[in-house]
Amino acid sequence: MKHVIIDYCIGFEWDAGNRSKSQQKHDVTPLECEEVFFNVPLLITDDISHSQKELRYYALGHTNGMRRLFVAFTVRKEYIRIISARPMSKKERVYYETHTEI
């Protein structure tokens, strides 16, 4: 299931801090973050509690290597801007698995 917000996106945008933050904190590479958006199933929802300055979203998905990730992001113009990524928590994994056929 894909969220309509990313239907018109044409790529990814990174800033230097966010590019390295997820890798340093959680050993999640930028490539893994991007892979999540090309694999199904992909669950995306609004992140209301973190949307004060701009609309934010989070995705639950998996990499090509089947690593399950939580990815926080926003959309700027036509680009997905990754804010952070980490392995899914146990609760998120259960939610992902019960709402998808993976």
- The residue extents of the domains of the chain are 4-98
- What confidence tier does 59 reach under pLDDT thresholds 50, 70, 90? very high
- Rounded Cα distance, 48 and 19, in Å: 23
- What confidence tier does 47 reach under pLDDT thresholds 50, 70, 90? confident
As a CATH number, domain 4-98 is 3.10.450.530
What's residue 20's pLDDT?
86
- Rounded Cα distance, 49 and 39, in Å: 26
CB 86 within 8 A of CB 94: no
Can you say whether the dihedral through the CA atoms of 89, 21, 45, 31 is positive or negative? negative
